[in-house]
Amino acid sequence: MSEGQHGKRSAGLLLFRHTGNGLEVLIGHMGGPFYARRDAGAWTLPKGEYGPDETAWDAARREFREELGLPPPDGEAVALGEVTQTNGKVVTAWAIEAELDPAAMVPGTFTMEWPPRSGQRQEFPELDRVEWMAPERARTLLVKAQTVFLDRLAEHSAGESAFGQ
């Protein structure tokens, strides 16, 4: 575990919808130069860090708004629990069934020195695009630890259909 990430916590929302093609989830491609040419492992659910003065749920909703520039959807939140990423960051997530048009996204930005050691600071989108996709495809693109959220969502969805809800 790298010292820089030790103890950091992040929270996010995984939107899902049922279509004629089955279940789809909404995930985002991380913005910035480190991920520009990567696909596998460069996608995430909209999420972000929070401190001790904020609940994970409040942070998940705030980060959704910051990263997508859209209000977090209302609806029943399905707790997907926590995962620990390889960098040591603990991510807590909820799934919400909702519709969202990816073209409506107005991404939040971050600033960093780029190119490295150039003294120049550039602004980059937190997420440079979001897409609806089947969980099977999302599994090949998501940060590895976050694929557990897909499994937990599938368990929830299977439980719902088993009870006819």
- Token pair listed for 142: 């998501």
| Residue 7: predicted pLDDT | 79
| Residue 160: predicted pLDDT | 67
| Residue 6: predicted pLDDT | 58
Going by C-beta distance under 8 Å and a sequence separation of 6 or more, which residues neighbour residue 54? Answer: 62
| Residue 164: predicted pLDDT | 41
Residues of the chain with pLDDT under 50: 1-5, 162-165
- Token pair listed for 129: 């695009």
Confidence (pTM): 0.89
Domains delineated in the chain: 3-162 (3.90.79.10)
| Residue 84: predicted pLDDT | 96
- Residue identified by tokens 């029943």 is 76
Going by C-beta distance under 8 Å and a sequence separation of 6 or more, which residues neighbour residue 5? Answer: 87, 88, 89
| Residue 4: predicted pLDDT | 42
